Structure 1
Amino acid sequence: MSPTWFITGASSGFGLDLALLALECGHKVIGTVRNASKSSTAVTAIKSAGGEILELDVTKPEIVPGIVEKANALSGGIDILVNNAGYSLLGAVEDISDAEAHAQLETNFFGPLRLIRALLPTLRARGDTTIVNVSSVAGQDAQPACGLYAASKFALEGLSEALAREVEPFGISVLIVEPGAFRTNFLSAVQKTQVPLSEPYIGGPVDVVLGKFEAAQGRQRGDPAKAVRRVFEVVTGTGEAGSLKGKVLRLPLGPDCVERVEGKMARLQGDLDAARGVAMGTDLD
């Protein structure tokens, strides 16, 4: 029997590509978009391929239970939850308002949390099911200008680590996907702080990184079709990456991601080595 995927943020990018790939492979897909009329191209593509579409704003907790109920009714039960909906807020931490910070976390962290809680009874009952949380290389390595975006992904990764241990006895796998730079519309959809970059940061690391993001749009080296293929293979245990199914918690994607994570690991090891003596001398005498 073909598994059913529930994919948030299916209006573009990885979400749309993954939905279409799963349908092409004979699986069932329920994709969600915030506004079906504004995402008509994606809606038509998914429906034409045999999928279903539901409107869902993951920042509205009151509608999540009803959407999950509809999804289960449409499909007979969800087997694979993909928390893909998200966006990036860029700017200096000092310039980010409370409202902007809350909005970033509502979409990138609390949205997935709500869907995980709502779907866990179904995933647990069906067994051999999967939760895919789409993070980012920023969930491992936080650059200047990405403070709140990285914080939301760090939070999602921490949740995923604990969740994986909690649900393993139920036959539920958790996979954290960490893409680097891929040629999607992600950078064109970033949001910047409402206030312009504060004077002390002009010309500094925040300004430099913002400039790099602007220059990178449309020039990212990553192929999104290859990325979603790898995700599909790890989840289903098929193809080139199928041997990783159930063996990895994190799936880094892209040479840039691997390089940055390796750099982060080296810095962490450096901190641990430098502080080892201090750390080991803190027990009660």
Structure 2
Amino acid sequence: MAPQTWLITGSSSGLGTAIAETVLRAGHKVIATARNPIKAAQENPQIEELGGQWLKLDVTSPDTTKTVKDAICQAGGSIDVVVNNAAYSLIGSIEDMTESEIETQFSTNVFGPVRVLKGVLPFMRAQKSGTVVNISSIAGLDGLPSCAMYAGSKFAVEGMSESLSKELKSFGIRVILVEPGLFRTKFFSTFVEPAAGLNQDYIGTPLGDTLQHFKDLDGKQNGDPIKAAQRILEVVTCTGLGVGTEDMLRLPLGPDCFDRFQTKCDALQENLTMMKKIAYSTSY
């Protein structure tokens, strides 16, 4: 396979760094983005050592689309894969969250990918090829207590990706929706809680208990980010375990993700079956 050019947002840590390093080691070119590329380069010297380049990018900025377009032009005017990975989690009670905190969550997790795609898609349409990789989460399929806004943002990414996969297919552009479960990244040490703290009434409830469970899980997650990155590369390139997956939209990662996904599907089927009579009773 000829070397591809990848643009990966949120490459300064976690799964983003793992994807960038894995893709570079496979012989591809990488534009790795970070809000602070100087710090990211210092903490991850292997990216430049392997031939990657850093790009300063804050996906909440209105200049994101132009920055992405300029970077692609400087890289030769073509882009094969974009990975929308930049995101964070706002965890807690909606009651305790300000509108500003919620807006920032959606500006990063939902509008961020949109801004990036507006910069990438014109190039992919022109070349009649490309792959969009949107990093969602098991939270985009199964919302847990304390995750209403984070899950809401990832549900939005899921719906957006479903539509995009159908809209872009005629241009030869593929969409892959990655749904990681629990992986050993900084996710549980860097999630954001409302500045107001937690309303005391939620202590001892499913919300409070789940929030504490997340804190206790930090550093104990079973998922290996490097293995996740390798599976993503294989599905994008249809090699290794990715052979035969070219028509699949969703890529669940981790046994915990798979099991929660299956439980959600079973619950949806039960709900749908139970409500069939009511659904069919509403026609003229």
> What secondary structure does 2:39 align onto?
coil
TM-score after normalising by structure 1: 0.96
CA distance in 1 between counterparts of 2:58 and 2:107 reads 10
What's 1:174 paired with? 175
Letter in 2 for 1:21: T
What's 1:140 paired with? 141
Shift of the 67–117 alpha-carbon distance from structure 1 to 2, 3 Å rule, reads: closer
> What secondary structure does 1:194 align onto?
coil
What's 2:131 paired with? 130
What's 1:220 paired with? 221
1:43 CA drift (Å): 5.1
> Retained in 2: the 8 A contact 1:137–1:180?
yes
Letter in 1 for 2:206: P
Letter in 2 for 1:153: K
Letter in 1 for 2:56: E
1:171 CA drift (Å): 0.3
Does residue 45 of structure 2 align to residue 44 of structure 1?
yes
1:32-181 → structure 2 map (5 Å cutoff): 32-42=33-43, 44-181=45-182
> What secondary structure does 1:82 align onto?
strand
CA distance in 2 between counterparts of 1:94 and 1:221 reads 32
> Retained in 2: the 8 A contact 1:163–1:174?
yes
How big is each residue's C-alpha offset from its partner over 1:48-80, in whole Å with a ceiling of 9 and x where there is no partner? 110111000000022431332223322431110
1:88 CA drift (Å): 0.5
Does residue 31 of structure 2 align to residue 27 of structure 1?
no
Does residue 189 of structure 2 align to residue 188 of structure 1?
yes
1:212 CA drift (Å): 0.8
Does residue 234 of structure 2 align to residue 241 of structure 1?
no
The CA RMSD over aligned residues, in Å, is: 1.2
Shift of the 62–76 alpha-carbon distance from structure 1 to 2, 3 Å rule, reads: closer
> What secondary structure does 2:204 align onto?
coil
Identify which range, 24-33 or 268-277, moves more after superposition.
268-277
TM-score after normalising by structure 2: 0.97
Identify which range, 265-274 or 69-78, moves more after superposition.
69-78
Instruction: Tell me the percent identity.
Output: 45
> Retained in 2: the 8 A contact 1:79–1:126?
no
> Retained in 1: the 8 A contact 2:136–2:177?
yes
Shift of the 262–63 alpha-carbon distance from structure 1 to 2, 3 Å rule, reads: closer
1:271 CA drift (Å): 1.3
1:153 CA drift (Å): 0.4
> What secondary structure does 1:218 align onto?
coil
> What secondary structure does 1:70 align onto?
helix
1:130 CA drift (Å): 0.1
> What secondary structure does 1:264 align onto?
helix
What's 2:266 paired with? 266
CA distance in 2 between counterparts of 1:230 and 1:42 reads 24
Paired residues in the alignment total 283
1:39 CA drift (Å): 1.9
Identify which range, 202-211 or 67-76, moves more after superposition.
67-76
Letter in 1 for 2:26: C
What's 2:276 paired with? 276
Letter in 2 for 1:146: C
5+ residue gaps, structure 1, are none
1:38 CA drift (Å): 2.7
